[in-house]
Amino acid sequence: MPAMEEKRITVAYGDGIGPEIMSATLEILDAAGAQIATDVIEIGEQVYRSGNSAGIAEESWQTLLQNGVFLKAPITTPQGGGYKSLNVTIRKTLGLYANIRPCRSYAPFVRTKHPEMDLVVIRENEEDLYGGIEHRQTDEVYQCLKLISRPGCERIARYCFEFARQAGRKKVTCFTKDNIMKMTDGLFRQVFSEVGRDYPDIEQEHWIIDIGAAKLADTPEAFDVILVPNLYGDIVSDIAAQIGGSVGLAGSANIGESFAMFEAIHGSAPDIAGKGIANPSGLLLGAIQMLVHIGQGKVAEKIHNGWLKTIEDGIHTGELYQEGLSKKRVGTKEFANAVKERLGESPSHFAPVQYGDSTTLDLRYERSSSYTPPQQRLVGVDVFLAEDNRDAESLAERLNNASNSLPLSLEMITNRGTKVWPHGRPETFCTDHWRCRFSASKDELEPSVIWKLLELLHQHDLRTIKTENLYYFGDERGFSLGQGQK
């Protein structure tokens, strides 16, 4: 093997079973000849409990930024309010936009109903409902903002297709709910199709997420690479890992332009912490993705094949152990020793893994220089109101009285998205949260009219809670119609 350059990485031993599985993983990496030096940082429960609500100290950020590559054991997020998810913070702060979760079955050595399954979930990692932008707007109604951006979609779609091509995968399936969320999920799907045109060698399809997830749970062998927005990806990848045999067997890579983080997909398993029985495989498979990322594909290959051989030889930790399928029940350390003993061996049942010299993709996002944004035209405003009286007719009358001096008109009122004025139905259940759509009387609205409108509504004792401007982008309407609106 040609001499490899040593790479300095950041390591966190985490909580619960974290220290046990991290020690086992690093021992295997060392025995396989991985050229890494480690800087250890402390994250998780102890840091949270010391009063740091982010779960990570400032100096640890410096280490993370300096090294660029992070191997992380699971952590425990203390119950109760005020603690931020460290995973989400790290992903978003370091711009780790792509989450790659290979999920496959290891039949007949690990029990599964889906012996042919071998797929990769590629999850957008920064956007969607995970922005954590939530508000209580009225006594009765709470809101969570779903943000999807074109650059976010372009980056993840491009990553996904490049990944598929590099990994020799044949098909990419996109899951969205664009029949309902036509603008946000619609954009994700549209960009998937646009970017997909550059990859005619790869089969492409789209499924609505609900039936797609059902199909995945039933026939996972029909999928190859799955591209999904953040929230669906979180759910779908756990389903895929579980039906493959165990969430304990899945590793995950979080990749950005300058940084990357590798981990197991399972949590800190406090119920078995300290007992020496945890399966280190999820973290080890994450570490294998890391070795590929840092250009040590040959070492990754050696470990992966030794690990497959260990699984084939029926050497299993307790949660996988099955009478008749397994040969020997082992603890964390014994399992690690079994993998070390098999370094350099190839599996005989499973196809040996080959990474060669390939590295994880390094894609830089650049908006095309020929792009000119469309002209943005303000044509109205949605004003959201808190109002206890559930009578839409009288609310419309008050709104019309308040706004009749302005160059706009009340077009509709909806309650939780359903049109209740004009021509509402008495059967529609109403809360104290109303969306009132005002449209410009002319082609375009002066922004100052909106400020004036808000002032007038206030003077008429109408409690505004927020506004959303209504724009056209060129000829394209930049807002959805109300349910029931023509």
For ligand NAD, the closer of residues 85 and 439 by Cβ is 85
Longest Cα separation, the chain: 83
| CA distances from residue 37 to 33, 69, 251, 255, 256 in whole angstroms, order as listed | 12, 11, 21, 20, 21
**Range in contact with ligand NAD (rule: CB under 6 A) among 74-82, 127-135, 181-189, 229-237:** 74-82
Give the residue, chosen from 54, 120, 269, 315, that forms a contact with ligand NAD under the rule CB under 6 A: 269
Give the residue, chosen from 76, 125, 305, 310, that forms a contact with ligand NAD under the rule CB under 6 A: 76
**Range in contact with ligand NAD (rule: CB under 6 A) among 55-63, 270-278, 297-305, 334-342:** 270-278
Q: Answer yes or no whether residue 233 interacts with ligand NAD by CB under 6 A.
A: no
Please, which of residues 282-301 interact with ligand NAD by CB under 6 A?
Answer: 282
| CA distances from residue 140 to 339, 388, 415, 435 in whole angstroms, order as listed | 56, 10, 12, 14
Q: Answer yes or no whether residue 117 interacts with ligand NAD by CB under 6 A.
A: no
Name the CA radius of gyration of the chain, rounded. 26
For ligand NAD, the closer of residues 247 and 462 by Cβ is 247
Give the residue, chosen from 206, 266, 293, 298, that forms a contact with ligand NAD under the rule CB under 6 A: 266
For ligand NAD, the closer of residues 254 and 414 by Cβ is 254
DSSP class of residue 483 equals B
Residues 177 and 231 sit within 8 Å (Cβ to Cβ): no
Residue type (1 letter), 22: M
| Smallest separation, CB 20 to ligand NAD (Å) | 9
CA dist., res. 238 & res. 266, Å (int): 9
Residues 482 and 419 sit within 8 Å (Cβ to Cβ): yes
Give the residue, chosen from 12, 24, 28, 75, that forms a contact with ligand NAD under the rule CB under 6 A: 75
Neighbouring residues of 471: CB distance < 8 A, sequence distance ≥ 6: 376, 377, 378, 379, 478, 479
Give the residue, chosen from 25, 125, 279, 403, that forms a contact with ligand NAD under the rule CB under 6 A: 279
For ligand NAD, the closer of residues 17 and 29 by Cβ is 17
Please, which of residues 379-398 interact with ligand NAD by CB under 6 A?
Answer: none
Give the residue, chosen from 19, 95, 115, 267, that forms a contact with ligand NAD under the rule CB under 6 A: 267
Tokens encoding 278: 């945890």
The answer to whether the bond into 108 is cis (omega within 30° of 0) is: yes
Please, which of residues 21-50 interact with ligand NAD by CB under 6 A?
Answer: 21
| Smallest separation, CB 72 to ligand NAD (Å) | 7
